[in-house]
Amino acid sequence: MNKIVKDFFKSIALLIIVSLLAVWITLYYTPNPLFTIANLIPIEANLTKPDNYLTIEKSTKVERNIVYSEQYPNSLLDIYSPIHSNDKLPVVLFVHGGGFFKGEKEMAKYFGRTISSNGYAFISINYDLVPNATVFDQVKQINDSIQFITDNADEYSLDIDNINLAGSSAGGFLALQLLSSYHNEIYAKKIKIAPVEKIKFNSLLLYSAVYNLSEFQHYDSNFLTSYLLSKIGWGLTGERSWESDSVLGAILNQNNYINKDFPSIFITDGNTNTFTEQATNYSNRLEETGVFVQTLFFNSREEVGHGYQLNMHTSASKKAVKESLNFLERVNK
């Protein structure tokens, strides 16, 4: 019996080794299996309702799963808006997070209703995810949603003179990419963005965004982390040798494309396991350039995590909502 048990465990160990070796060999040719495995791991998004959600829900409506582009498979959006409104509404276009390879528009289902109840059309979009798309495909897809908003403004009562971009985590990076491309023709050509005619973004709101992906080209860590980052970066950019490509690195660093003509920008982040340092550096650069920036950061006495604004029963989220609305009111007059 002991021999049977030993042989069984030897077989299991051999199977595991062979499987790991097969994955390792496959990853030499493509990063896709890594994202397949990553998508099997649930990520807690910490979505909670605000205390007054029943009141908010009664005062708003949502039009779901509207197709905004025929060019990309995952091109659906939801529009949250006040029930009692006869005028065209200023738009908040929200790009969800999820590391570029996870997430969905429903991540903003409570946050979106809350913002819209204050007189906004809050639009939350899906987009194709890595490895089926690169970050450059994703930003082009988001630009398609701007074209959709422009073409369908009358049908959905949207004020295209007041379009406010917004994004959380990876979605913040994509929203910032789009804004940068609208203010820099050279950058727009590099990432192949054709700005929608006559569109000038009113503002940008960034929640726990990443600002500089080039930091991960030479990330100082252990072998396994460095190896995984090399494969993730390959999937994100579509370039196998992305770590050694300085031109690509410059494109992935949004600090390089700050423009004095940027609209007002709202920046917030937590202080635990997030991109606080990148956020503060970017906001400082904006101020130095003369761009109006409103920030919300937290001291060490209160632990506030990544994407905290979606955890809406917390005091930090309540503060973010209040300051976001104050910011939007100021820039949408």
Mean confidence (pLDDT) of the chain: 91
18 pLDDT band, cuts 50/70/90, is: very low
The structure's pTM equals 0.92
Q: Tell me how far CA of residue 267 lies from CA of 85, 219, 289, in angstroms.
A: 29, 25, 16
Structure tokens at 325: 């609305």
The alpha carbon of residue 57 and the mean position of all alpha carbons in its chain are separated, in whole angstroms, by: 25
313 vs 278: CA distance, rounded Å: 26
**The domain 53-212+253-331 is classified under which CATH number: 1.10.10.10, 1.10.1200.10, 3.40.50.1820, 2.115.10.20?**
3.40.50.1820
Tens of pLDDT, residue by residue over 85-118, are 889 999 999 999 999 999 999 999 999 999 999 9
37 pLDDT band, cuts 50/70/90, is: confident
217 vs 243: CA distance, rounded Å: 4
Burial of 80 from C-beta contacts in 10 A (0-12 / 13-18 / 19+):
buried
Count of Cβ atoms closer than 10 Å to residue 137 Cβ: 19
